[in-house]
């Protein structure tokens, strides 16, 4: 075995790929083809920063390119959910979310996978939208004269509302208490209490809110209830 020849390549790189021959004199004794596999690497992406902001109803465009051997496939996920149409067997991919909804807010991820391993790039999609105003459905809105009434409305918007208010459609009223509670990053609850000391305080109230993208409102109808429980 003294004539054995051994070639050792350390710190193997992709450029080491190719055909290697063991030659004695002018005779090729053996040939070996070396194919170096390379884990995926994301080499470019758009947007360049992690955070991307778009208005609701607009389009959000993302792209990323990856290198590797074998050529990696690109997979797109939105908030951890994979769509089969978003698997691109190519080292470069563009992903467009059309008619973006507020529910698309969150994590958009580009994953490069070539079976050796996976690598990913994450973006944070921030969808801005004008307020929506709702009233809790279980909230009673019928009271007796001299009752204390509680009126509640919930406003969701991004950015958060500049102003939330409850007012009477016709006439004025004084409230006993008024306070806001932030429910989460996009929703705020406004609560007011009023003493119904006068029949004119029954009727239509409006909860209105606005931010720099627009405004919205909803109605609360405070009904009178007599001693027998009849509502009118």
Give per-residue pLDDT as tens, 195-228. Answer: 888 888 888 899 999 999 999 999 988 888 876 6
141 and 121 share a domain? no
- Whether 75 and 117 share a structural domain: yes
| Domain-terminating residue out of 84, 102, 128 | 128
pLDDT at 6 over 70: yes
Q: 155 lies in a domain?
A: yes
Task: Quote the pLDDT of residue 55.
Answer: 96
> Looking at residue 201, what is its pLDDT?
87
- Taking phi first (over 0 means left), then psi (-120 to 50 degrees means alpha), and beta for anything else, what does residue 213 get? alpha
Question: Within 13 A of 151's CA, how many CA atoms are on the CB side?
Answer: 31
- For the entire predicted model, the pTM comes to 0.74
Tell me which H or E stretch contains 209: strand 203-211
Same domain flag for 189 and 114: no
CB 160 within 8 A of CB 200: no
Average pLDDT of the chain is 86
Count of domains observed in the chain: 2
Report strand pairing: 203-211 vs 214-224. antiparallel
pLDDT band at 90 (very low <50, low <70, confident <90, very high): low
Confidence of residue 2 (pLDDT cuts 50, 70, 90): low
Q: Count how many Cα atoms sit within 13 Å of the Cα of residue 165 in the half-sphere of its side chain.
A: 10
SS3 16: helix
Structural domain range at position 114: 38-128
């Amino acid at each position: 075995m003294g004539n054995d020849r051994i070639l050792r390549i350390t710190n193997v790189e992709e450029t080491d790929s190719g055909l290697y021959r063991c030659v004695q004199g002018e005779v090729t004794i053996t040939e070996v083809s070396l194919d170096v596999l390379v884990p995926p690497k994301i080499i470019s992406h758009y947007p360049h920063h992690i955070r991307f902001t778009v208005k609701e109803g607009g389009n959000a465009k993302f792209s990323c390119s990856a290198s590797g051997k074998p050529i990696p496939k690109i997979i797109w996920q939105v908030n951890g959910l994979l769509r089969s149409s978003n698997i691109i067997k190519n080292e470069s991919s563009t992903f467009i979310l059309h008619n973006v909804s507020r529910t698309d807010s969150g994590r958009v991820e580009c994953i490069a996978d070539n079976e050796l391993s996976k690598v990913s790039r994450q973006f944070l999609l921030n969808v801005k939208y004008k307020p929506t105003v709702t009233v809790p459905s279980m909230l009673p809105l019928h009271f007796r004269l001299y009752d204390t009434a509680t009126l509640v409305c919930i406003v969701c918007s991004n950015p958060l509302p500049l102003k939330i208010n409850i007012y009477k459609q016709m006439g004025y009223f004084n409230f006993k208490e008024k306070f806001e509670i932030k429910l989460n990053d996009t929703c705020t609850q406004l609560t007011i209490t009023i003493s119904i000391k006068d029949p004119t305080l029954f009727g239509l109230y409006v909860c209105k809110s606005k931010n720099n993208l627009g405004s919205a409102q909803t109605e609360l109808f405070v009904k009178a209830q007599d001693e027998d429980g009849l509502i009118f």
